[in-house]
Chains A and B, each alone.
Chain A
Amino acid sequence: MYSNNIKKILLLTVFIALMTVGAKAQVKSYFGFFGGVSNALGDFKSTDYYNNKAGFGKRGLTYGLDGAYYFYKNLGIGASITYQDNGELNLTEANSLAAGYTSSFSADNAAVTGTKRYQTVNILLGPQYTFTKGKFLLDLRASAGILKLFSTPETYVNLYDGDNQIAAFYQKSASSTVLAYSGTAALRYKLSDNVFLTLRGAYLSSQGPSITYQGRTTNTGRLVTRQPFNTINTTIGLNFGL
């Protein structure tokens, strides 16, 4: 799955390179900022206790900086640095996890305390091709880079009379740096010669961080070893031509 996506990015890059043939004018390089919402996708969004990849990710705030340098007509290299928040466990989900652990461990009852949230920054770089039509510019970019996780949700699971697990245990918050890749489409509207209003959609995917436990004595029940990360961010921003 992961290697297939890498192949898609490479094919897209080749496609963009071919598209440069026949391009007429040099597009202006730019930088800018954006803000909007980050939406969790797929397993990252799932809230299924029995899905070990379920991330309980939410819709959250995202903002960042973005820019591109055009080195040949419509072809350039783009980069972005993006902060995004994908929420934390809510009460319904904590109750659901507690019910799952109660069942898995044949416990009489369980309490799940959720703290911390998904807070990440990604730094991505990749080739960009821009189509122009009047006052509109359409940027397509495939990029790769790093995803720095400042925190992920942490849970403290306390079981009462559970089988094979007497002590309470933690699913620890992760704060690591992992590889990520992204596909971005942005529609820019020229407000003036050097100012653009930009609507942007960015898909981000990563295998995500390894997840560790503290105090867990058995692999019974929900066991998350790696938390995949998939989001699509829809943002609005301003770009400034250089």
Chain B
Amino acid sequence: MHARRWIPYAFLAPAFIGLVIFRFTPICLALSGSFFGQSIRGASIFVGLKNYAELIGDPSFWSTVSTTLIFNLIINPFQVVCALALAMLVRRPTKLVDVFRAAFLLPMTVSIALTSILWSILLDPTLGPVNGFLRFAGLPPQPFFRSAGEALPTLILVATWKGAGYWMVFLLAGLLAIPKELDESASIDGANAWQRFFGVTLPLMRRPLAFVLVADTAANFLLFAPVYIVTNGGPNDATHLLMFEAYQSAFAFLNQGRSLAISTIILVIILAIALVELRLFRSDDGSAA
């Protein structure tokens, strides 16, 4: 549509000023700051790639990286499967389905910080009602967050409790877009529910599933609150994720160069994930731009 040349830019200006100052400037600052360190007097000095070299030579950094990778390799597929299961459960409208849809979204209103606090209380080895229930059911009580072996799996379950309903909405949208007739005709041809799911539904859900998997990965890569609030990276570094390492470097060890080097690595990973996501998204929506 035709308008005087500057008009579209005037409409865009407030949002783009915000994006440039608060999104793109920090990205540049992370990159440039990662090349600086501090002299003994506290002055900022250019150190080139020293921050990165130190990270590469630091075994504790690599253990953080491997914990973060293991965490992501398990939680992302797990959350997507849970979200798909939830979406399948509320796919067909029945009388109660609206109530259940709302119930599945309830954890969205419990912030990630409160989710962490709530579950650290629920799973407390001595006070918590979950162990009370296990004893009641005749099962052995578990240490959950308090043991190096169970902390990471517990973190995965708790984060999934919070996240599954959020991702369900996107998959439900995909399921509702599948024409009912496809399912019905497969049913008439004698396919059972299992065959219909794998033969009809799943192939048609490839795009939404891929989109949710990638977006979920970006979110989980940055998980911070439960580690900070509940486990403090422990026990025995079992939940020491990359974002927590970046936080500690900056605010506990006051090593800004190291912290910004880790931030840059995180940003590169997130940017790579975002580019994959962009591809999926644009092939989904030819009219996007």
Q: Do A and B bind each other?
A: no
A interface residues with partner B (beta carbon < 8 Å): none
Residues of B within 8 A of A (CB): none
